[in-house]
A = this chain, B = another copy of it.
Amino acid sequence: MVETLRVGVAGLGTVGAALIAQIGKQREAIAARCGRRIEVVAVSARSRNKNRGVDLKKMKWFSDPVELAGFDGIDVFVELMGGSGDPAKTAVEYALASGKSVVTANKALLAKHGFKLAQLAEKAGVALNYEAAVGAAIPVIKTLREGLAGNSINRVYGILNGTCNYILTRMEQEGLSYADCLADAQRLGYAEADPTFDVEGYDTAQKLALLASLAFGTKVDEGAIYVEGISSIAPADLAAADELGYRIKLLGVAVRTGKGIEQRVHPTMVRKDSSIAQVMGVTNAVTIDAEGINPITLVGPGAGGAATASAVLSDIADVARGLKAPPFGRPTGKLVAVQKAPMQRHEGGYYIRLEARDKPGTAATIATRLAEQEISLESIVQRHPKGEVPKSKNGSVPVILITYATSEDAVRKALAAVGRDKVISGRPQVIRIEKN
């Protein structure tokens, strides 16, 4: 048997502790599968004396993760500290520069510095693996990097944030408000005290940046993504979606268009019969549309200590076996820069909900303004969902429009004109429809 693969783990939160426990428990099975043992020989964390439920006695302790990264007693540096800045960044750079393979679950670091880190890994001839950074235990990185190597990918999209999907699922199934569901998510530990990063779509954007790079050979660039969160979604939208045969999901979408790669994160109407629409609660899912074949959807736990540790361990096992693919599926010299697609040019169907003044001529005015922008309507509903009697708030009635494919520019112009006509109150709700 080949020599033991010596692992150093920086960061001993729930994932780090789960990883050490799993490696201990699966010792023999891993050795059988990889043809060599995997052993955690050194660790680093902020506090040495915290009880993490795992035995660290045989492991060398480093109070400085960067020092661990440079320690020549390890072959693989596992970074589980998180954050796009230091110490994670310097530690990973130092590990790669000193010829160690790196395994990380750090989406923020990769979304910001992934391209440069991939260059470092390439130069050193080592692996930079990050299966856990997107969809935790769902093998989406491996699938895009290796599994569909011969396919031209047209689109990749997914539910990449469990917090948002939990909130939208509760809102849909129980008719609750966004605020109530968010409070529950916070109580259950699914959302942070400051939920901005999750609910406003930034977490999804970081993950999407990685998927887009793997799918399309772009330089990972989270700045190139249009981002919109779920905080404006109302129970009325979920009820209307249900009635029209849709569900609302926060999707990250990267798609090849005639104008380049479009990357966007926003609440999205998806048809109820699609695989992605079935994904409920904190579960994550990614759908891959490759040229000439029906979509492939991968569904599973997108977070949690054990699920994340499972993906980290698969990455370590690949290093143990000597399986090494370029971090973003292609040599870094082949990766190309991507522009931020201006959303005005986005083309697709739209869901629009307006609070219209309840007086004659309002519907005609709205329809005329849409027609002026050459927007065709698939449906227009002017009654309250679920057949209730319209509740007139300040003399207004909800109007739900579904458009056929049009441009975002046209929709924005039409709604601005409707606003000037003073036939609606409040801000129009606009949700993009994603075809499946």
Give A contacts to B, CB under 8 Å: 22-23, 25-26, 29-30, 32-35, 38, 131, 137-139, 142-143, 146-152, 217, 273, 275, 278, 280, 283, 290, 292-301, 304, 306-307, 310, 313-314, 316-318, 321, 323-326, 329-331, 334
Contacts and interface: CB of A to CB of B under 8 A. Distances in A.
Contacts of A294: 137, 283, 300-301, 304, 307
A310 B151 contact: yes
A29 B293 contact: no
Nearest to A304: B293
Contacts of A152: 25-26, 29
Contacts of A29: 150, 152, 217
A278 B287 CA distance: 15
Contacts of A151: 22, 26, 310, 313-314
Contact of A275 (B30, B142, B299, B324): B299
A138 B32 contact: no
Nearest to A302: B294
Contact of A314 (B32, B38, B148): B148
A146 B318 contact: yes
Q: Please name the 5 residue pairs, one residue from A and one from B, whose CB atoms are nearest each other, closest first.
A: A150-B313, A149-B317, A139-B147, A296-B300, A294-B301
Contacts of A325: 321, 323
Contact of A310 (B22, B290, B310): B290
5 contacts: A142-B142, A293-B301, A293-B306, A294-B301, A295-B300
Nearest to A299: B297
Given A299-B297, A300-B296, A321-B325, A30 B313 contact: no
A189 to B, nearest CB: 16
Nearest to A320: B149
Contacts of A217: 29, 32
B296 A298 contact: yes
Nearest to A143: B139
Given A296-B138, A296-B299, A32 B330 contact: yes
